[in-house]
Amino acid sequence: MKHRILIAEDSKSLLNRAKEIEKLFKKELEKRNLSETVSVLPTGSLGYEDIGVALVIYPDNVLYAPVNSKEDVQTIVKEHFVDGKVVKKLQKPFKRFSQIEKIMGIQQRIVLENVGKISPEDIKEYIAFDGYKGFENALKTSPEGVIKEIKDSELRGRGGAGFPTGKKWEFTAKAKSDKKYIICNADEGEPGTFKDRTIMEGDPHRVIEGMLIAGYATGANEGIIYIRGEYALSIERLENAISQAYDLGLLGNNILGSNFSFDLQVKKGAGAYVCGEETALLNSIEGKRGEPRKKPPYPPTAGLWGKPTVINNVETLANIPVIMRKGAEWFKQFGVPGSYGTKLFSLNGDLNWKGVVEVPFGTNLSFIINEIGGGLKDNLSLKAVILGGVSGSLLTPNEINTPVDFNSLAKIEAGPGSGSITVLSEKRCIVDVAKNIAKFFRHESCGKCTPCRVGTDQMYKIIDRISKGQGEGSDIQIMEKLGRTMKLTSFCGLGQTAPNAILQSLKKFPDEWNAHIFDKRCPVNVCRLEA
Amino acid sequence: MKKTSILEDLQKAESHSKENYITFKDVLQISENKKTPLSKIYGVGTFYSMLSFKPRGRHIIRICGGLACHLAGGDKLINKLKEVLQVDVGETTKDGLFTLEENSCLGLCSVAPVMMIDDEPYGNLTEEKVEEIIKSIKEGTKK
Amino acid sequence: MEEKTVKVKINGKEYEFPAGITILKACEKVGIHIPTLCYLEGVSEEGSCGVCVVEVKGARTLQRSCITELLEGMEIYTDTPAVKEAREMNLELALAHHPLDCMTCDKNGDCLLQDLAYEFNVKKSVFLDESEIYEKEKQTAWDTNPFIQFDPQKCILCRRCVDACENQAIVEAIGIAMRGIDEKVTTPFNLPLEQTNCQFCGECVQACPTGALIEKPRIGKGRIYDFKATDTVCSYCGVGCNIRLYTDKNNNIVMAKGLPNKLVNDTRTCVKGRFGFEYVNSKDRLTSPLIKENGKFRKASWDEAIQYIARKLTEIKNKYGSDSIGVLGSSRCTNEDNYVVQKFARAVIGTNNVDNCARLCHSSTVTGLKMALGAGAATNSIDDIKDADVMFIIGSNMTETHPVIAQIVKKHQKDDGAKIIVCDPRKTDIAKVADVFIQHNPGTDVALLNAIMKIIIDEDLVDEEFIKEHAVGFEQLKEELKDFDLSEASKITGVDLNLIKQAAEIYGQAKNATIFYTMGITQHTTGTDNVLSIANLALITGNLGREGAGINPLRGQANVQGACDLGALPNVFPGYQSVTDESVREKFEQAWGVKLPKDVGLPVSKFGEAALSGKLKAVYVMGENPLMSEPDINRVREGFEKLEFIVVQDIFLSETAQIADVVLPAAAAYEKDGTFTNTERRVQLLRVAKEKLKGTKFDWEIVSEVASAMGYPMHYKNSAEIMDEAASLTLSYAGIHHYRLEKQGIQWPCKDDSDPGTKILHRNGHFNKPNGRGVIHAVKFKPPAELPDKEYPFVLTTGRILYHYHTGNESRRVKVLDEFVPENYIEISKKDADKLNLKDGEIVKVTTRRGSIKVKTRVSDRPKEGVVFVSFHFHEAAANILTNPALDPIANIPEYKVAACRIEKV
Ligand SMILES: Nc1nc2c(c(=O)[nH]1)N[C@H]1C(S)=C(S)[C@@H](COP(=O)(O)OP(=O)(O)OC[C@H]3O[C@@H](n4cnc5c(=O)[nH]c(N)nc54)[C@H](O)[C@@H]3O)O[C@H]1N2
Ligand SMILES: Nc1nc2c(c(=O)[nH]1)N[C@H]1C(S)=C(S)[C@@H](COP(=O)(O)OP(=O)(O)OC[C@H]3O[C@@H](n4cnc5c(=O)[nH]c(N)nc54)[C@H](O)[C@@H]3O)O[C@H]1N2
Ligand SMILES: Cc1cc2nc3c(=O)[nH]c(=O)nc-3n(C[C@H](O)[C@H](O)[C@H](O)COP(=O)(O)O)c2cc1C
Ligand code: SF4
Ligand code: SF4
Ligand code: SF4
Ligand code: SF4
Ligand code: SF4
Ligand code: FES
Ligand code: FES
Ligand SMILES: [Mo]
């Protein structure tokens, strides 16, 4: 049987020169006349980008990392293919995933099932791994049937708000209109978040298939994937995938001989975090300033160009094919009631291992941090966790013993949000972190409404002052009042969530704030205060 | 041919420019083609941070100012870049090679601190690495 | 139909409201106060400020009452602590960069921000960092114009200005730029406003709730509470915008605002309405009667002047007969003034030689529409423009001449997708947004309209039903067009046949199409033919007598409609009652107690010739300036100089006044009460915005005194009494009395005191013609009187620009307007300029068979090749030195729109 070398070529691996390694392999194999029997292909993240280039060899299921030099390449080709033995010194376990599997008893990944397994640049590989089967099943079902299946799966949106996907689709399906749209929200811009990129770079067809099914179910025949402009590789992989899908008749008119037609294109963002907000995104696609629109009407009934529009997150859509392939009941064996399926998390901050993981809903947050993330770097102790991105919540060490699912997290005023987990060690200053968060929102506020436009600016200015030792006794009170007003009266989610983590930090770390304000001192010596 | 939006027209105009910006002439053309008043186009162009109406450097450096990068020492890198390039954030080097910009998060947080130069990401940066990268690009462009 | 309602609870009390209204509206209805800042109904509904928030039970956040619709079962609380805190906080935020300048701010007392600060007792925003305000770069780059000042420090980014520009003015000259805290209101690229498409209508200023945008001319003149406010009607064009004028303690008008009369201008004005009042305050105003002695004027008392005029006119009348005297009424003056002046001509002088500038303007409309439909006025209302799906605009530069109507037309296109067709030899601003723009050769409208009708007939787009029931003459028209050669028409007009086809199809297929036309149609030797062709087009497609379907000649001067209605015309008494009709004459003889002349009098366009030939010996001019406005003014002047006696009653020493024997100082429009009738036949009330200048009298008062001195006593107590008399003799005004006009005026015909007036003429296709049928006339194309040739190779067409008005007596005395456009220019196409090797701004000599003037060039994309345009506002380079006095044989309107000319470098 033919061997396949799959080299992780996600953005992060590419910056470790994965492309060069790919070339070296090709050269080396040619030299040894092995080109015919061994193919070299790119794949998505294998979870070792922090140490270097990683690759897997199928069907042997051997993972090597880091493969950083010509010598490494030569060794692998010679020993693995010529001599037929595993290069022990380079071999690594399928680290994260195998561990989860062991501990949680899960047989396979759902969303990332193909990432690191197939070449994202070749539609045939996707198809070989049951790609587009879910869509074929959908075509055999009625649109109502598809919606029922999704509703039965109780899939909730992975873009932050957790809205039931089947219900959303149903609104659009029921809306009468000559034109409907499916939009994939791939604007991923929340600091600390990079899970959608992992899907798009590693398994782009999965997103396309999800959108096809959504289109069929709702009666939409145009789709748009809105990808932030900075995600060059995601754009490239999806554009490539789309053109391959057109070539195979999986996009376009009368797909697979059915009555269903669907066109799909990629639109690039141009640097504005707020465009991740679904109505701002619509304006951006229409070519306008990315300012949010008034809701209601909501996009499912009046979206792009005023037409009914489903907007789903990349991860949400990536869940669809497998649900249509294996059924809602199968899907619901993962996760917990109220939060079925798995969730991707982007681990970052002061952890030993950082990257994207997929865990079933209900996994304990401390498990993710300590087991999967390998605990804190340098054996430091944990000070806080920012969960769900900077618009999410700030958790203290005694709050992390919580299962990550919508209901459990709600109890501690948190949510999975964007799926980011930023870990802060004891060496981090809360005021400094708050200032960085405030700066972010100040920079990304669209400016339309006063509470957010001026509120984010003032929030930053106050914290900046405090961090410099110019805080005043009344600052905390003003920040609380300001934060409340922003939460209650900002026009969109950006302004409404901007003060979240900051307000929580005021409540959870009062001593640290007070030290800055009253003692003019930073307890961990991060801020430079003028005495 | 698919109809483009104003934003796409602006993106296209910018991508055709060696100096990474949209000229007044481009804007007039878009206004004419799309029967859209200049004020609207100007409003769109100034909204998005990747677009510019002012000439920029041949290469755009986007240094990440997001939380993960900040925690990983991003501030030091920003200062290093300012020093090496002799510019402030938002400015273009005298030789017209680089414009330094700050990004809110490049989505590469697990290899923080990071920056992108044009479409190319660079991660796990140190001050030394930054200096090296700038140097090599400078040399590469000169050739 | 039963209206849907929703039941809600507000502050614990149950209410029922019509479905679909906002929380704010509902609360307003039941008297619950909710403060607002950014909301401007129908104009700006962005929900940006967050001041109007309320608590809705069950909602995660507070709701913006201004944009949130009521839903069944909502429980709303408008006054909880959370609501109060949020409102106050948002106000603090709005004030975070706002200087505490109320003490010196012109907006003090008229500022929503200030009102709210007072309401919430926000003395100084907790966020205010004064060092920052004054550091923040004061961005004045784009407000270098003379009209509008922008102070970014006072701007709270509520966006009302931007939305007003977009949704009311339909210009989008200013917009929101940048993002987040850097966001600002600005022009594209911070260009000076005058380099954008801004029309200086000031709609943005009026929308601004703070002192950020302010009219420059008012700065330093006082605060709102120093002014007296008066609601009246704009004195310029026939749109008849309702405005509020503010007069300071020195009796100077200092500011104007558009009033929210939804039926007319709905808060809009154009630059003249908003900034053009200053002439009333001008030092040049006449304040004493003047009598010419030895070629020089000297001041005289009213008594002396009146006695002198009475003596001279009586002398001339006795010596040469009544018809040796001509009288001009004025479309700048009120209905009451005009009623009195025509009565003076007929009853006191004994002549029908009375006319007004409508002659030069819409006399062909009156003749043409009278022949076709039986009434010479606009058939529809401004308010039903919104019901048209096609707007056909021909020979009207409405963006500059009827700017507020143009805004309404553009809004209808933008909001409702109605189509615009424009036919004009120049690519005017409205042409730029047209769905179809036909740029034809001047003077070829009959050929163009015939071509359009030929296509409509050929493609079976005629309304057979309508023609059968409501029209006659269709067969003749069909016959005429049977062999009509479309390609020949394309050659004559210089327009691609496809474009004409497009226009024909769009108009022909419209459910409701309305036509707007003005001087491009009327001011031709074929003016009547042009108007008949337009009537034909509407009749064969059945586009008359309904909302959104009709023929709308836009009337020019503020009261040109009224001057005609009240009989300042040589052939009719008030209400278009013919002077040759015995019974009519008897009625007026009885009412006025004198014998009245039987013969139709001279039109003003023949005054010059009649003076030259000696037929005319004296003229009495009220509020006209023929020595600037008539064609071929050198010849008119020659004629007038031969007259034995000229009286000019004006507010300035106009070109005509300068050669008068007696000049009488009148009160200006903003100093008067009385009525104007606008383009849609709406009679509207003027109110005294400022006391009339010492030494001046009302026009009707002056004429009455002359009449009395001539032995015919006229003693009116006030203008209302005059209108009552006029109404008693004029069927179409029978129900018009001042007390009935207080609210929003009445459209004639209005037959009695209970008649609400007439929105649409010829309702249900009923015309004031025999059998109630409209008459279709087969019209043949005739070329203009003067065509270009080798010696005079260009077609000169004349007209107006936005910033000036007619002979310039007013607009050129408004500092801001005159500063903005201080001199005349000739518009010439790039191609022609290149041919003549002319640069933009170069001075050239323009010559016709009548004379020449020197003007600067303005090389532009507007005129068609071979066509040049000059405005007639500037006495220094008077266009009417050049124009051709050839007249339309029926209407006697001069051909201002076509003359052959030559252009030379100097
Ligand atoms: N700013 C301003 N507004 C005014 C006035 C003013 O003086 N200044 N005056 C008021 C008065 S009294 C009047 S009557 C109206 C006049 O209002 P308009 O009639 O709109 O003004 P004009 O500039 O005389 O000419 C109108 C258009 O006719 C076009 N035209 C020239 N020749 C032809 C032709 O042969 N056929 C066709 N179809 N079009 C042709 C010209 O290019 C011009 O665009 O404006 C009123 N409003
Ligand atoms: N070349 C060329 N010539 C044209 C035209 C054209 O398109 N091209 N258009 C023609 C048309 S449509 C028109 S309507 C005429 C306009 O021609 P005119 O009516 O002659 O021009 P105006 O400048 O309006 O003159 C009005 C006079 O009345 C005075 N006045 C203003 N208010 C009052 C008042 O309340 N009382 C009194 N007593 N006097 C007052 C003014 O000072 C001014 O002197 O011009 C015509 N001439
Ligand atoms: C400021 C802001 C930024 C957002 N950014 C994203 C984003 O990058 N990606 C995303 O899928 N959803 C984002 N959302 C959420 C979207 O508005 C929307 O809820 C989501 O795309 C719906 O998809 P789902 O139903 O699949 O979750 C953002 C929301 C806000 C308020
Ligand atoms: S909350 Fe912020 S991002 Fe959202 S509309 Fe308001 S200013 Fe824009
Ligand atoms: S704009 Fe209003 S609040 Fe501001 S200084 Fe002027 S009057 Fe005072
Ligand atoms: S003056 Fe009128 S056209 Fe100019 S910016 Fe203001 S609203 Fe717009
Ligand atoms: S200029 Fe006035 S109307 Fe415009 S945004 Fe600023 S405060 Fe509002
Ligand atoms: S449109 Fe006419 S009536 Fe209205 S403000 Fe302008 S000049 Fe006056
Ligand atoms: S924080 Fe820098 S890449 Fe995300
Ligand atoms: S008035 Fe409602 S948000 Fe400003
Ligand atoms: Mo006129």
Sheet with C253-258, side-by-side order of all strands: C228-233, C242-247, C253-258
Minimum-distance ligand 1 atom for the alpha carbon of C806:
7
CB atoms within 10 A of CB C307: 15
HEC per residue, A161-206: CCCEHHHHHHHHHHCCCCCCEEEEEECCCCCCCCHHHHHHHHCHHH
Q: What is the rounded CA–CA span in Å between residue C255 and residue C247?
A: 7
Q: What is the rounded CA–CA span in Å between residue C278 and residue C246?
A: 12
Q: Does A496 touch chain C (CB under 8 A)?
A: yes
Q: Give the model's confidence band at A117: pLDDT under 50 very low, under 70 low, under 90 confident, else very high.
A: confident
Query: What ipTM was assigned to the predicted interfaces of this complex?
Result: 0.93
Type of residue found at C765: G
Q: Where are the alpha helices (DSSP H) in C203-334?
A: 203-207, 271-275, 302-320
Q: Give the model's confidence band at A105: pLDDT under 50 very low, under 70 low, under 90 confident, else very high.
A: very low
CB neighbours of C634 closer than 8 A, spacing ≥ 6?
C850, C851, C881
CB neighbours of C165 closer than 8 A, spacing ≥ 6?
C171, C172, C173, C174, C203, C204
CATH at C10: 3.10.20.740
Is A443 close to C97, i.e. CB distance below 8 A? no
Closest Cβ opposite residue A489 in set C53, C126, C179: C53
CATH at C622: 3.40.50.740
- pLDDT on residue A107: 40
Indicate if C321 and C461 belong to the same structural domain: no
Mean predicted lDDT score pLDDT of chain C: 94
Q: Which residues on chain A are in Cβ contact (under 8 Å) with C125? A: none
Is B71 close to A428, i.e. CB distance below 8 A? yes
Query: Is residue B142 predicted with pLDDT exceeding 60?
Result: no
Is C787 within the bounds of a domain?
no
Q: Which of C94, C127, C161 lies at the terminal end of a domain, its last residue?
A: C94
Indicate if A359 and A442 belong to the same structural domain: no
Residue of B nearest to C179 (CA): B47
A135 token code pair: 């869509």
pLDDT in tens, C533-579: 999 999 999 999 999 999 999 999 999 999 999 999 999 999 999 99
Type of residue found at C834: D
Indicate if C677 and C826 belong to the same structural domain: no
Is A199 within the bounds of a domain?
yes
Indicate if A270 and A192 belong to the same structural domain: yes
Please name the helix (run of DSSP H) or strand (run of DSSP E) that holds residue C665, with its range, or none.
strand C662-665
Strand C471-472 versus strand C436-438 pairing type: unpaired
Minimum-distance ligand 2 atom for the alpha carbon of C669:
35
Q: Which residues on chain B are in Cβ contact (under 8 Å) with A192? A: 66-68, 105, 109
Q: What is the rounded CA–CA span in Å between residue C620 and residue C603?
A: 14
Tell me the shortest Cα–Cα distance from C187 to chain B, in angstroms: 6
Span from the CA of C258 to the centroid of ligand 8 (angstroms): 10
CB neighbours of A491 closer than 8 A, spacing ≥ 6?
A292, A448, A449, A451, A452, C47, C48, C50, C64
In terms of Cβ atoms closer than 10 Å to its own Cβ (0-12, 13-18, 19+), residue C294 is: exposed
Q: Does B104 touch chain C (CB under 8 A)?
A: no
In terms of Cβ atoms closer than 10 Å to its own Cβ (0-12, 13-18, 19+), residue A102 is: exposed
Is A169 within the bounds of a domain?
yes
pLDDT in tens, A24-78: 999 999 998 888 888 888 887 787 877 889 998 877 888 898 998 999 999 999 9
- pLDDT on residue C885: 93
Q: Minimal CA–CA distance to C799: which of C836, C832, C824?
A: C824
Type of residue found at A358: E
pLDDT in tens, C305-356: 999 999 999 999 999 999 999 999 999 999 999 999 999 999 999 999 999 9
Indicate if A291 and A191 belong to the same structural domain: yes
Q: Does C197 touch chain B (CB under 8 A)?
A: yes
Residue of A nearest to B116 (CA): A230
Q: Could you give phi then psi for residue A128, rounded to 5 degrees?
A: -60, -30
Is A458 close to C179, i.e. CB distance below 8 A? no
Is A212 within the bounds of a domain?
yes
Span from the CA of A492 to the centroid of ligand 3 (angstroms): 11
Is A391 within the bounds of a domain?
yes
User: How many domains are there within chain A?
Assistant: 4
CB C291 within 8 Å of CB C308: yes
Q: Does C413 touch chain B (CB under 8 A)?
A: no
Indicate if A138 and A211 belong to the same structural domain: yes
Minimum-distance ligand 8 atom for the alpha carbon of C236:
7
Please name the helix (run of DSSP H) or strand (run of DSSP E) that holds residue C646, with its range, or none.
strand C645-650
CB C534 within 8 Å of CB C503: no
Q: What is the rounded CA–CA span in Å between residue C869 and residue A464?
A: 62
CB neighbours of C128 closer than 8 A, spacing ≥ 6?
C95, C96, C97, C98, C100
Torsion C468-C472-C475-C479 (CA) sign = negative
CATH at A474: 1.20.1440.230
Is C157 close to A294, i.e. CB distance below 8 A? no
Indicate if A174 and A245 belong to the same structural domain: yes
Span from the CA of C199 to the centroid of ligand 6 (angstroms): 6
Query: Is residue C654 predicted with pLDDT exceeding 70?
Result: yes
Q: What is the rounded CA–CA span in Å between residue C90 and residue C48?
A: 10
Q: Which of A331, A361, A381 lies at the terminal end of a domain, its last residue?
A: A331
Distances in whole angstroms, Cα of residue C6 to Cα of each of A297, C9, C57, C62, C76: 18, 10, 16, 20, 13
Q: What is the rounded CA–CA span in Å between residue A329 and residue B83?
A: 59
> Does the CB atom of residue C202 touch ligand 6 within 6 A?
yes
Indicate if C18 and C121 belong to the same structural domain: no
CB C501 within 8 Å of CB C495: no
Indicate if C878 and C830 belong to the same structural domain: yes
Indicate if C544 and C616 belong to the same structural domain: no
Q: Which residues on chain C are in Cβ contact (under 8 Å) with A490? A: 50, 61
Tell me the shortest Cα–Cα distance from B27 to chain C, in angstroms: 10
Indicate if C330 and C379 belong to the same structural domain: no
Q: Minimal CA–CA distance to C719: which of C336, C309, C275?
A: C336
Q: What is the rounded CA–CA span in Å between residue C405 and residue C424?
A: 17
Indicate if A291 and A221 belong to the same structural domain: yes
> Does the CB atom of residue C622 touch ligand 2 within 6 A?
yes
**What percent of chain C clears pLDDT 70, i.e. is strictly above it?**
99
Minimum-distance ligand 5 atom for the alpha carbon of C111:
2
Q: Which residues on chain C are in Cβ contact (under 8 Å) with B6? A: none
Least confident of A377-381, A437-441, C9-13, C766-770: C766-770
Q: Minimal CA–CA distance to C276: which of C806, C870, C879?
A: C806
Is A246 within the bounds of a domain?
yes
**Which residues does residue C846 pair with via DSSP β-bridges, in sequence order?**
C853, C903
Indicate if C586 and C685 belong to the same structural domain: yes
Strand C894-895 versus strand C867-871 pairing type: unpaired
Q: Cis before residue C713, ω within 30 degrees of 0? A: no
Indicate if A296 and A218 belong to the same structural domain: yes
Q: Does B43 touch chain C (CB under 8 A)?
A: yes
Q: Does B46 touch chain C (CB under 8 A)?
A: yes
Indicate if C436 and C301 belong to the same structural domain: no
Is C426 within the bounds of a domain?
yes
Query: If you average pLDDT over residues C755-779, what whole number do you get?
Result: 91
Q: Does B41 touch chain C (CB under 8 A)?
A: yes
Q: Where are the alpha helices (DSSP H) in A395-444?
A: 406-411, 430-444
> Does the CB atom of residue C519 touch ligand 1 within 6 A?
yes
CATH at C144: 3.30.70.20
Q: Which of C94, C126, C155 lies at the terminal end of a domain, its last residue?
A: C94
Strand A3-8 versus strand A309-313 pairing type: unpaired
Minimum-distance ligand 10 atom for the alpha carbon of C50:
3
How many CB pairs lie under 8 A apart between chains B and C? 41
**What percent of chain C clears pLDDT 90, i.e. is strictly above it?**
94
Q: What is the rounded CA–CA span in Å between residue A324 and residue C42?
A: 47
User: Domains of chain B (ranges plus CATH)?
Assistant: 6-47 (no CATH), 59-138 (3.40.30.10)
How many CB pairs lie under 8 A apart between chains A and B? 138
Is A192 close to B108, i.e. CB distance below 8 A? no
For an interface test with C, the pick among A477, A488, A497 (most C C-beta atoms closer than 10 Å) comes out as: A488
Is C765 within the bounds of a domain?
no
Indicate if C522 and C593 belong to the same structural domain: no
Q: Which residues on chain C are in Cβ contact (under 8 Å) with A491? A: 47-48, 50, 64
Is A481 within the bounds of a domain?
yes
Query: If you average pLDDT over residues C266-276, what whole number do you get?
Result: 96
CB A342 within 8 Å of CB A335: yes
CB atoms within 10 A of CB C904: 12
Q: Which of C69, C94, C119 lies at the terminal end of a domain, its last residue?
A: C94
Tell me the shortest Cα–Cα distance from B105 to chain A, in angstroms: 5
In terms of Cβ atoms closer than 10 Å to its own Cβ (0-12, 13-18, 19+), residue B35 is: exposed
Mutational test site, ligand 8, from C404, C408, C801, max ligand atoms within 8 Å of CB: C404
CB A157 within 8 Å of CB A313: yes
Rg of chain A over CA atoms, in angstroms?
Answer: 24
CB A26 within 8 Å of CB A18: no
Is C175 close to B42, i.e. CB distance below 8 A? yes
Query: If you average pLDDT over residues A116-133, what whole number do you get?
Result: 92
Type of residue found at C400: E
Indicate if A184 and A305 belong to the same structural domain: yes
pLDDT in tens, C97-154: 899 899 999 999 999 999 999 999 998 888 988 777 766 666 567 888 999 999 999 9
DSSP, collapsed to helix, strand or coil, labels residue B17 as: coil
CATH at C798: 2.40.40.20
pLDDT in tens, A196-235: 999 999 999 999 999 999 999 999 999 999 999 999 999 9
CB neighbours of C57 closer than 8 A, spacing ≥ 6?
C74, C75, C76, C77
C225 DSSP assignment: G
Minimum-distance ligand 7 atom for the alpha carbon of C150:
1
Closest Cβ opposite residue B50 in set A229, A348, A350: A229
Indicate if C424 and C573 belong to the same structural domain: no
> Does the CB atom of residue C66 touch ligand 10 within 6 A?
yes
Indicate if C297 and C434 belong to the same structural domain: no
Is C769 within the bounds of a domain?
no
Tell me which of B61 and B121 has the higher pLDDT: B61
Is A18 within the bounds of a domain?
yes
What is the extent of the structural domain holding C845? 794-905
Indicate if A327 and A365 belong to the same structural domain: no
What is the extent of the structural domain holding A479? 430-517
Closest Cβ opposite residue B39 in set C178, C188, C433: C188
- pLDDT on residue C1: 53
Q: Which of A78, A106, A134 lies at the terminal end of a domain, its last residue?
A: A106
User: How many domains are there within chain C?
Assistant: 5
Q: What is the rounded CA–CA span in Å between residue C510 and residue C828?
A: 35
DSSP, collapsed to helix, strand or coil, labels residue C572 as: strand
Is C50 close to A487, i.e. CB distance below 8 A? no
Q: What is the rounded CA–CA span in Å between residue C65 and residue A15?
A: 51
CATH at A25: 3.40.30.10
Closest Cβ opposite residue A447 in set C49, C126, C179: C179
Residue of A nearest to C49 (CA): A450
Query: Is residue A488 predicted with pLDDT exceeding 90?
Result: yes
Closest Cβ opposite residue C180 in set A294, A445, A490: A445
Minimum-distance ligand 8 atom for the alpha carbon of C235:
8
DSSP, collapsed to helix, strand or coil, labels residue B23 as: coil
Mutational test site, ligand 4, from A445, A487, A489, A500, max ligand atoms within 8 Å of CB: A445
Tell me the shortest Cα–Cα distance from A54 to chain C, in angstroms: 41
**Which residues does residue A442 pair with via DSSP β-bridges, in sequence order?**
none
Torsion B26-B28-B30-B36 (CA) sign = positive
CB C138 within 8 Å of CB C152: yes
CB atoms within 10 A of CB C32: 19
CB neighbours of A237 closer than 8 A, spacing ≥ 6?
A120, A121, A200, A201, A204
Q: Minimal CA–CA distance to A427: which of A526, A358, A284?
A: A526
Of the listed ligands, the closest to the CA of B67 is 9
Indicate if A379 and A233 belong to the same structural domain: no
CATH at A204: 3.40.50.11540
Indicate if A230 and A84 belong to the same structural domain: no
Q: Minimal CA–CA distance to A446: which of C159, B118, C190?
A: C159
Distances in whole angstroms, Cα of residue C751 to Cα of each of A327, C591, C731, C737, C873: 78, 19, 6, 12, 39
Indicate if A409 and A446 belong to the same structural domain: no
Query: If you average pLDDT over residues A138-162, what whole number do you get?
Result: 97
- pLDDT on residue C644: 95
A403 DSSP assignment: B
CB atoms within 10 A of CB A47: 28
- pLDDT on residue C605: 87
Query: Is residue A106 predicted with pLDDT exceeding 60?
Result: no
Partners of chain A (3+ Cβ pairs below 8 A): B, C
Indicate if C606 and C747 belong to the same structural domain: yes
CB-side neighbour CA atoms (13 Å) of C705: 16
Of the listed ligands, the closest to the CA of C896 is 2
Q: Which of A425, A446, A481 lies at the terminal end of a domain, its last residue?
A: A425
- pLDDT on residue C753: 92
pLDDT in tens, C786-831: 999 999 999 999 999 999 999 999 999 999 999 999 999 999 999 9
Identify the residue whose tokens are 């940006």.
C48
Q: Where are the alpha helices (DSSP H) in C187-275?
A: 203-207, 271-275
Is A437 within the bounds of a domain?
yes
Q: Does C177 touch chain A (CB under 8 A)?
A: no
Q: Give me the helix-helix angle, B127-142 and B74-85, nearest 10°.
A: 40
**pTM of the predicted model, to two decimals?**
0.94
